[in-house]
């Protein structure tokens, strides 16, 4: 008679011969077609099934489910391994198993949130689990390994790392945690926990059962929406949340040794150093983010769109799709998320064209180019091109593309719900605006927390537009120049967004208000207002290494300053943030390097000592005071 181990091995061998996954029905051009879909190495794959083979495949899948259930029943009955250790149903690894990876992680710099993570890990309150979650390549697994590296040896002996697979479930997790507790393990790091399809609906197992039994449990995963949904239901107030998606410039610079804001604009958002090193074979792999348009689309697709789809499919048996269910059924949800992210970038680009490219800012650039110190670079090209016609052509093309985007049937309720989930992923945030007059037209603008994604998509869109036949009438030199000029405007607007977003996130909201101030005829790029003292500082942001007297024109405009003071309180600082050197003008404008400004956050306040003192006569009552 076969023993338990022999039966188990026989079933495992039989399982290897059967197809994994499920059968999906798709309506393609009015005809129903069938596909076998399954996950392999974290990626979704599919294979077409003909009608002739459909019944046989259905029988094989049904048989596989029965065998998997039998394997689960047998696994707890398996004898211990030769070394006396337990047999686990999930991939359990000790610190000894991970020694090389732990050593490698220990050499890397720590994320800013690492200290908070350790505090949560060793907290005396044993009623809550710790969740480390965020989009791909934001340092989650490295943080887990670094925490293990810093453990005393006796604590390491009680720690394990578990990396879940799509075939794992909470029942297996429950049994393994019981075995681990029996074996004396007390620190449990569970990575990719959201891959378990029933995680969201069964997450209370960790907080309600095993933390109460004295186990310190860390959950980690890339499906941020899954954690967001679980924290609002199963975990509720029994979880400490640490989100890794947002990587501000100061942290990006410290971790990767990169001081260039332009490089942060191009590649910021993930912790992949050296994305521009084309000779690095690793960076030519399929998962390199923001390298080009295709890699950016792939990142949006796999890290964001499928994140949303997977979490909603797993939550309450897929009943939380709300208005998105029809898109999910038509296998269009991932595509819809992609389209909406692209549409936000289209709108961003339109705002650049409408506001900057045809505004006086371009006039400043034209003036600077005519007066360029380097004679070889001096050119009147911006005076010679028909800026209005060029801009209008590009806006027309963008409009056509937006209409094409809407053909897939995305309704307003779809957009609202997807945007809600993008906010939950910490990917977007509404730009904060204040207005000087009641009833003033509201400006809609979305800030992206991953600048590399936004810039790459905008860059790809610009270049594709420049290939359009309506631009064939322009000279190659003019097309190239206009392309670079527009990209310069995009970088400038993104620099404004980055400074506003990072300042807003860094300063305590109870004390400071951080926002754009929309005037009747212009705006201040950023206002920082001390609520209690009714004081403020005004900022203009310029993507330039060169000084120009015109950069501070709004900060010298008495009428605008009067309006700002009435709305925001006493003005104690007027700043131009740019990429050049720090200095102060005679009339009280403080020029500050934008990178240094961002690096000193969050310590920066209005009383940090950066403000200079000027007499009231110099600025007619609006200059900084101590």
Point out the least confidently predicted range of 153-157, 257-261, 346-350: 346-350
Q: Kindly state the average pLDDT of the residues 365-387.
A: 62
Task: Pull the structure tokens for residue 244.
Answer: 């890794």
State yes or no: pLDDT of 287 exceeds 50: no
Per-residue burial over 529-554, b = 16 or more CB atoms within 10 Å of its CB, e = otherwise: bbeeeebbbbbbbbbbeeebeebbeb
Q: What is the pLDDT of residue 383?
A: 61
Sorted by where each starts, the structural domains of the chain and their CATH numbers stand as: 4-77 (no CATH), 92-244 (3.40.50.300), 297-431+444-498 (no CATH), 507-619 (no CATH)
- Select from 327, 299, 300, 301 the least CA-distant residue to 313: 327
- 336 with 497: CB under 8 angstroms? no
Q: Please state the rounded mean pLDDT for residues 328-355.
A: 76
Least confident span in 9-13, 174-178, 293-297, 338-342: 293-297
Interval 478-516: pLDDT, tens: 677 777 777 888 898 999 999 999 999 999 999 999 999
At 20, the pLDDT band (50, 70, 90 cuts) reads confident
Tokens 């810039």 locate to 455
What is the average pLDDT across 574-591? 92
Question: Model confidence over 119-148: pLDDT tens digits?
Answer: 999 988 778 999 999 888 889 999 999 999
* Assigned token pair, 419: 């945007």
Element (H, E) at 4: helix 4-16
Pairwise pLDDT comparison (23 vs 444), residue with the higher score: 23
326/296: higher pLDDT = 326
Distances (CA, A) of 288 to 53, 140, 280, 284: 38, 17, 11, 7
CA-CA distance, 578 to 459, in Å (whole number)?
Answer: 22
pTM of the predicted structure, to 2 decimals: 0.75
Asked if residue 166 lies in contact with residue 193, where contact means CB atoms within 8 angstroms, the answer is no
| Whether pLDDT at 273 is above 50 | no
Mean pLDDT lowest among 11-15, 252-256, 599-603: 11-15
Tell me how far apart the alpha carbons of residues 176 and 97 are, in angstroms, rounded to a whole number.
17
Task: Record the tokens describing residue 391, joined without a space.
Answer: 């801009």
The predicted model gives 70-98 an average pLDDT of: 73
pLDDT band, residue 424 (cuts 50/70/90) = confident
């Amino acid at each position: 008679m076969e023993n338990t181990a022999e039966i188990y091995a026989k079933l495992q061998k039989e399982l290897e011969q059967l197809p994994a996954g499920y059968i999906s029905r798709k309506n393609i051009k009015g005809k129903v077609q069938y596909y076998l879909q399954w996950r392999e190495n974290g990626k979704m794959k599919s294979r077409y099934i003909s009608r002739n083979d459909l019944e046989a495949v259905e029988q094989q899948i049904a048989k596989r489910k029965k065998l998997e259930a039998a394997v689960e029943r047998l696994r707890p009955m398996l004898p211990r391994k030769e070394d006396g250790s337990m047999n686990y149903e999930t991939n359990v690894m000790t610190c000894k198993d991970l020694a090389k990876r732990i050593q490698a992680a220990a050499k890397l710099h720590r994320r800013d949130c690492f200290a908070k993570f350790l505090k949560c890990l060793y907290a005396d309150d044993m009623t809550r689990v710790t969740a480390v979650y965020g989009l791909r390549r934001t340092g989650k697994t490295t943080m887990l390994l670094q925490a293990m590296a810093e453990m005393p040896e006796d604590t390491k002996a009680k720690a394990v790392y578990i990396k879940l697979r799509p075939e794992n479930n909470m029942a297996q997790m429950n049994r393994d945690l019981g075995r681990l507790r029996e074996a004396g393990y007390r620190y449990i790091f569970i990575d990719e926990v959201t891959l378990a399809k029933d995680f969201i609906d069964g997450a209370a197992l960790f907080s309600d059962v095993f933390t109460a039994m004295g186990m310190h449990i860390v959950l980690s995963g890339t499906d941020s929406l899954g954690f967001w949904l679980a924290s609002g239901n199963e975990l509720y107030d029994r979880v400490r949340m640490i989100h890794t998606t947002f990587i501000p410039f100061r942290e990006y610079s410290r971790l990767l040794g990169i001081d260039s804001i332009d490089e942060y604009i191009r590649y910021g958002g993930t912790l992949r150093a050296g994305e521009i090193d084309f000779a690095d074979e690793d960076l030519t792999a399929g998962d390199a983010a923001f390298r080009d348009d295709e890699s950016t689309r792939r990142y949006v697709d796999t890290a964001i769109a499928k994140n949303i789809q997977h979490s909603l499919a797993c939550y309450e048996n897929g009943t939380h799709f709300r208005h998105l269910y029809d898109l999910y059924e038509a296998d269009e949800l991932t595509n819809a998320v992609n389209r909406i992210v692209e549409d936000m970038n289209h709108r961003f680009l339109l705002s650049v064209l409408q506001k900057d490219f045809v505004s006086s800012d371009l006039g400043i650039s034209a003036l600077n180019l005519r007066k360029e110190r380097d004679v070889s670079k001096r050119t009147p090209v911006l005076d010679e091109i028909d800026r209005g016609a060029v801009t209008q052509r590009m806006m027309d093309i963008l409009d056509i593309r937006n209409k094409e985007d809407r053909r897939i049937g995305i309704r307003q309720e779809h957009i609202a719900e997807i945007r809600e989930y993008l906010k939950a992923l910490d990917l977007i945030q509404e730009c904060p605006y204040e207005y000087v007059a009641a009833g003033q037209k509201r400006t809609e603008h979305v800030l992206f927390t991953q600048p590399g994604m936004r810039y790459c998509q905008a860059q790809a869109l610009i270049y594709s537009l420049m290939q359009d036949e309506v631009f064939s009438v322009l000279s190659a030199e003019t097309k190239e120049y206009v392309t670079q000029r527009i990209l310069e405007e995009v970088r400038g607007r993104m620099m404004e967004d980055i400074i506003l977003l990072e300042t807003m996130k860094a300063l305590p909201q109870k004390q400071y208000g951080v926002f754009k101030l929309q005037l009747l005829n212009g705006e201040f790029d950023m206002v920082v207002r001390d609520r209690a003292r009714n004081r403020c500082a005004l900022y203009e942001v310029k993507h330039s290494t060169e000084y120009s007297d015109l950069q501070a024109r709004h900060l010298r405009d008495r009428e605008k300053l009067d309006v700002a003071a009435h709305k925001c309180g006493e003005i104690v600082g007027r700043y131009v943030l740019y990429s050049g050197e720090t200095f102060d003008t005679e009339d009280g404008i403080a020029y500050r390097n934008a990178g240094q400004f961002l690096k000193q956050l969050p310590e920066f306040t209005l009383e940090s000592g950066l403000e200079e003192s000027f007499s009231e006569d110099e600025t007619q009552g609006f200059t900084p005071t101590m």
